[in-house]
Amino acid sequence: MSQKKLLASLKSILPSHCVLSTEEELRPYECDGLSAYRQIPKLVLLPETVDQVQQVMRLCYAEKLPVVARGAGTGLSGGALPLADGVILSLAKFNQILDVDYANRIARVEPGVRNLAISEAVGRLGLYYAPDPSSQIACTIGGNVAENSGGVHCLKYGLTVHNIAQIKVVTAEGELITIGGSGLDAPGYDLLALLTGSEGMLGIIVEVTVKLIPKPDFVQVLLAAFDDIEKAATAVGDIIAQGVIPAGLEMMDNPAIRAAEAFVHAGYPVDAAAILLCELDGGSEEELSEQVDTVSNILYQAQASQVRVAEDAQQRATFWQGRKAAFPAVGRISPDYYCMDGTIPRKQLPAVLKRISELSKEYGLAVANVFHAGDGNLHPLILYDANIPGELERTEQFGGQILEACVGAGGSITGEHGVGVEKIDQMCVQFQPLELEYFHAIKDAFDEHGLLNPGKAVPTLHRCAELGAMHVHKGQLPFPELERF
C-alpha cells in the first residue's frame, strides 16, 4: 500500500488530527528516555477508543506494518524507540481513571493514566498504588505494565506484576482479550505475568486494573552515613538478616551524595563514602519506634559514622528529596550520563562495586552509584560527554561490562528498566541460545508476523553469535554451535 493510500485508510479509522505524518509532528516521538537512540517513525497514531486501536491493529496486520506502542516515552531502555518503517501507536489519549472500587481495593484505569495520578485519586480513601518508579510524575500505567516497573518500595510491596489484577489487551490481529480477572486469579496459564514486562512485544495494553493498598499510618526514615562503601553494603544484609523488611532501603555513593547535596541541599554528609536511606512503616507508633531502635542498632554495629532519624514529615521528605533528585543532580555535573540497571544478590554488592570502580579507571569515565540496595538493584550512572567523539561508544561498552559483571555475580542485566534496544546484546550473556529460542517462539505464539515492537528485548541468535567473538569468557566461546561471520 502506498503512503498516500495508507494515510487515507488510517484517516477512515481515526480523526485526521490523530494521524501525524509530517516531520515536525513526528520529531517529538523520535526517542524515549534513552535519547542516545533516535529514529523518526513512518507515522504516529493517537487513537481515542479501544475500537480504533483494534481497527488500526487489523489494518497494520493486513499491511504487515510494524507497530511500536508508546505511553509517556519515559522508558530508559529504548523500548519505545520508533522503527523507520513502522508506526508509533501512542496511548496518550487513554488518560481516564474509569472506576475506583474501594471495597475491592482496585481501580480500573486507561493505559495512559500517569502512575502518580492513581495514588492521588485514591489518596482520600487512605489507599495508594504501591509501585513508584522515579518517573512516576510522568510515566503511564500502560508503560509500567509493559516494563514491569519497580521503584523504591518494591522490596516490601512488589513490582508492577504483583500489583495488578487484570489487563485488557488488543492482539496483533486486532482482537480484544481480557487477561486476569476480578478475583485474585484467573483460569488457565498466568498470561498476566507473561504479558507484564513483555515490552510491547505480545500485545497492546488498553486497560489496566490495579490493586490498591492501605497507606501505612506511621512512617519513619533513617539516614546512616558510612566511611566505607563496603560497610554500608554489609549493613544492608544485616538489616534483612535481622528479619526487618524496610519499605525502602536505598544507597548512594560519594559522587552521588555530593551531586544531590549540591542540587537540593538535603543536608547529606558530603564527606561520607556512602549513605543508606531506610524507610520503615508500621501500624502503631510503638511498633515503629521499636523498629527504628532495632535498625539504628544494626547500623551502628555495622560501623555507621552517624545515624539520623527524621524529626518530622518535612525532614523525611528532605531525606528522600536528595535520593529522588539524584539523577537530575548528576545531570548537572556532567554533560551526559548513562543509567545502568543491573541486579545482583546483595552479598555481591562489595565485589561488584569494586569491579565498577576498576572499570571506571580503565575507561577514564567517572561513575556515581545510586541504588535500590534492599533488592540488589544497581543504578550506576556513567558520566560522559556525547560531544567528545567516541565517548558514547566507550560508555556503552563500559555499561555492557557492568551488566556482564552483574550476570557473573549471579544477577540480571535489568531489574526494572527493561531490555529494549539498550541491553539487547547483554541478553546473549544472560541466556543460552535455547532459552532465546523459546522466547522467540513465545513471541510467535502471540504475533506470528513479528509486527509488535520487532527487534527489541530478545536478540536473534545470529546477533549473539556475532557478538560472541567479542565476549570470550574464560576461553570459552559462547554459542559454539553457531556459525561465525
Partner 1 sequence: MEKDLSLELQAQVTAASEQDTPLRIIGGDSKAFYGGELIGEALSVAGHRGIVSYEPSELVVTVRSGTPLKDLERVLAAQGQMLPFEPPHYGDGATIGGTIACGFSGPRRPFAGAARDFVLGCKVLTGKGDIVSFGGQVMKNVAGYDVARLMTGALGTLGVLLEISLKVLPMPEQEVTLSMPLSTTEALDVMCARAVKPLPLTAASYDGEVVCLRLSGAPSALKAAQKKIAGEVLDYGEQYWREVREQEYYFFQSTLPLWRLSLAPATLPLPLQGQWFFDWGGAQRWLASDMMPADIRDAVAAEGGHATLFRNKHYYEGIAYADVFHPLSKPVNKIHQKLKTVFDPKNILNRDRFVIF
Within positions 438 to 457, which residues make up the interface with partner 1, using CB under 8 A?
Answer: 438-439, 441-442, 444-446, 457
Q: How far is the CB of 16 from partner 1 (least distance, A)?
A: 31
Part of the chain binding partner 1 (CB under 8 A), chosen from 12-20, 38-46, 97-105, 308-316: 97-105
Q: Are 71 and 112 in contact (CB under 8 A)?
A: yes
Query: Hey, which residues between 174 and 233 contact partner 1 (CB under 8 A)?
Result: 175, 177-179, 181-191, 193-194, 196-198, 202, 214-217
> What is the spatial distance between Cα 133 and Cα 163, in angstroms, rounded to a whole number?
13
Is residue 61 part of the contact set for partner 1 (CB under 8 A)? no
Verify binding: residue 291, partner 1, rule CB under 8 A: yes
Residues in the chain: 485
Site string for partner 1, 102-141 (x = CB under 8 A): xxxxx------------------xxx--------------
CB of 365 to partner 1, least distance (A): 24
**Interface with partner 1 (CB under 8 A), residue from 61, 327, 337, 431:** 431
96 in helix, strand or coil?
coil
In this complex, which beta carbon is closest to partner 1, that of residue 73 or of residue 376?
A: 376
Instruction: Kindly state whether residue 269 participates in binding partner 1, applying the rule CB under 8 A.
Output: no
Q: Which of 11, 93, 162, 463 binds partner 1 (CB under 8 A)?
A: 162
Total interface residues for partner 1 by CB under 8 A: 93
Helix runs in 242-348, H state only: 254-264, 285-301, 313-324, 326-333
Q: How far apart are the first and last CA of the chain?
A: 35
Greatest Cα pair distance in the chain: 72
How far is residue 409's CA from residue 378's CA, in Å, rounded to a whole number?
A: 13
- Coil/strand/helix, residue 169: strand
Q: Which is nearer to partner 1, 164 or 222 (CB)?
A: 164
Considering the complex, state which of residue 175 and residue 271 has its C-beta at the smaller distance from partner 1. Answer: 175
DSSP string, 216-265: PSEEEEEEEEESSHHHHHHHHHHHHHTT---SEEEEEEHHHHHHHHHHH-
Stretch 11-50 residues interacting with partner 1 (CB under 8 A) = none
Q: Which of 15, 432, 460, 484 binds partner 1 (CB under 8 A)?
A: 432
The residue (of 336 and 375) whose beta carbon lies closer to partner 1 is 375
Q: CA-to-CA distance for 89 and 368, rounded, in angstroms?
A: 35
3-state SS class at 450: coil
Q: Is 414 in the site for partner 1 (CB under 8 A)?
A: yes
Q: Is 55 in the site for partner 1 (CB under 8 A)?
A: no
| The binder of partner 1 chosen from 16, 49, 284, 397 (CB under 8 A) | 284
**CA-to-CA distance for 200 and 371, rounded, in angstroms?**
26
Report 222-261 residues binding partner 1 (CB under 8 A): 237-238, 240-241, 243-245
Cross-strand bridge partners of residue 307: 224
- The position carrying cell 554495629 is 301
Nearer to partner 1 (CB atom), residue 257 or residue 457: 457
- Rounded to 5 degrees, φ, ψ at 323 are -65, -45
**CB of residue 288 vs partner 1: minimum separation in angstroms?**
9
One of 39, 158, 449, 482 touching partner 1 (CB under 8 A): 158
Compare residues 74 and 198 and give the one whose CB is closer to partner 1: 198
Alpha-carbon distances of 432 from 88, 201, 227, 265, 374, rounded to whole Å: 31, 20, 41, 47, 28
Among 12, 24, 84, 434, binds partner 1 (CB under 8 A): 434
Identified binder of partner 1 from the candidate list 140, 343, 360, 453, rule CB under 8 A: 343
β-sheet bridge partners, residue 471 = none
- Beta-carbon count within 10 A of 126 CB: 12
Query: Whose Cβ is closer to partner 1: residue 85's or residue 444's?
Result: 444
User: Closer CB to partner 1, residue 30 or residue 396?
Assistant: 396
Provide long-range contacts, Cβ within 8 A and 24+ apart, for 175-182. 175/54, 176/50, 176/54, 176/206, 177/203, 180/209, 182/104, 182/106, 182/209
Taking contact as CB under 8 A, which single stretch among the options 88-96, 109-117, 145-153, 381-389 is the one that binds partner 1? 145-153
- Using CB under 8 A as the binding rule, whether residue 320 contacts partner 1 is answered as no
